[in-house]
Amino acid sequence: MNAFKALTITVFLILVLTGCYNSKQAKKKGASSGDRPFAGLGAVATKKAESPAKMEAAKSLLKLYKSASHYYTAPRVAAGTGMKIDCQFPQNQDWTPAGSPCEGEGKRFGVDTMLWNSETWSAMNFQMNDGHFAAYKVESSGTITNATITLRARFDTDCDGEWEEMSITAKGDATASHAECSMAPNARGLSEIEALLWEPPPKPTKRQARTAKTGATAEVVDQLDKMYKSAAHYYTSPRVSRTGMKLPCQFPASQDWSPSGSPCDGEGHQFEVDTMLWVADTWSALNFQMNDRHYGAYKVESTGTLAGAKAKLMARTDTNCDGKWEVTTRMIEGDPNATSAECSVKANAQLMEGEGPSLSNTPVAPRQDPFAVKTAPTGAPAAKATKGSAWLVTKMTDLADRACACKDITCFKALGSEGQGLQKELAEAMADASTDEQMALMNVMKRIGQCANRLTEKGAP
């Protein structure tokens, strides 16, 4: 067991078995640990709440960064002469507004549209149309590859005269030229801003999941069929090397999952369109790309030539957005009688389905009961039976459902004792928990913590 997994298990056991909770919240509400047996479980998976001022500053800085990027890359000409202007960022602009927000209503700067009429703010199409916490500043220098811009925001939420500041620094790319300009990747401070603004996608409802499952199944079957036909055509079509030598029949080279990542971050829990993903040699050879939002990611595993040529065409989907991929595979093989003179593919390619990152070349075996007690195989030394981590996920999910249905703290406390009674099972089952199961448990913990907070905020006795 690696160190990270051991740490995860340790934290989980401590949280569940001791019923620890956010002491600051308990002190604020006057609740004791006995009143809130599940409190704090959601803290592990819940994103830290940031101040309105910090969130406002982050959103505005991201908007300014996008405007500065567009300004730098957009061609412009000098008035009168018509000469092309070197790529550069908007000019310097001092803090706007000046002064302190603490003098205004709600400790915010008031609305003053005239402040945003300067050349720099106009060039970036930026102004604050409502009362706001932060002031903004632009520091700019250089042109083309030497162009640099720093976008700053500052706010004083405590009104103690000590400003808290955030910034993004961007540069022109090293390959930029007078003819064409591009931004350097990895602007300093950008990833922190994006992480601050990121929100986890909502889990789909049961109806949405069913709809997505239907759509995903239809998509995967259709796209794998297209991939199969294209792979067969590629295998049987004569091709020559750069030297003019005839190449042995083979399938396109292997290609990793495209897209990578999860579809659940996108609209409708689908991958967004990205045509650049499909310009890779393998996808081009298969004449394959996704031109609309889609549920599936696709992969090719290819080996051998002639009769030994094989390709595994794969698709994976996660319509429940629970991190558990459902993988569908279609195999295609060279015919045993294939020769350098003539090739054909083997008939009766089989479509296989299952869960996990990959599948074997044989049909998936019947699924086993995840709740069955594990025993040692015949002839092997007897092993200690456990109920398994899948059982634990189901048990804790049921416990969370009942805890969140509670209307008062008495009900909640009763279930807390049941949670503490899982100590033995937790210690045994968590040793074999997969990453997906650990994530499922973290989501259950988050739900319990949220429900505990809801009861406390309602003023439950």
Per-residue pLDDT at 432 = 60
Per-residue pLDDT, 424: 61
> What pLDDT shows up at residue 25?
42
pLDDT at res. 386? 44
Q: Which residue pairs from 102-109 have beta carbons closer than 8 angstroms and sit at least 24 positions apart in sequence?
A: 102/156, 102/159, 104/131, 105/131, 106/131, 107/133, 107/157, 107/159, 108/132, 108/133, 109/133, 109/134, 109/135
Is residue 235 within 8 A of residue 294, CB to CB? The reply is: no
Q: For 161, left (φ over 0), alpha (ψ -120 to 50), or beta?
A: left
Going from N- to C-terminal start, the domains of the chain cover 3-47+387-457, 52-197, 206-321
Query: What pTM did the predictor assign?
Result: 0.42
Q: CB-based contacts of 295: which residues, under 8 Å, 6+ apart?
A: 212, 215, 216, 219, 220, 263, 269, 270, 271, 317, 319
pLDDT for 9 equals 46
Mean pLDDT by runs of 10 across the 461 residues of the chain is 43 44 41 44 47 92 93 85 88 95 91 93 94 96 93 94 94 83 87 82 71 84 92 89 85 93 85 90 93 94 91 92 89 84 70 45 36 42 49 75 77 70 61 63 72 65 43
Tell me what pLDDT residue 166 has: 95
Predicted pLDDT of residue 401:
78
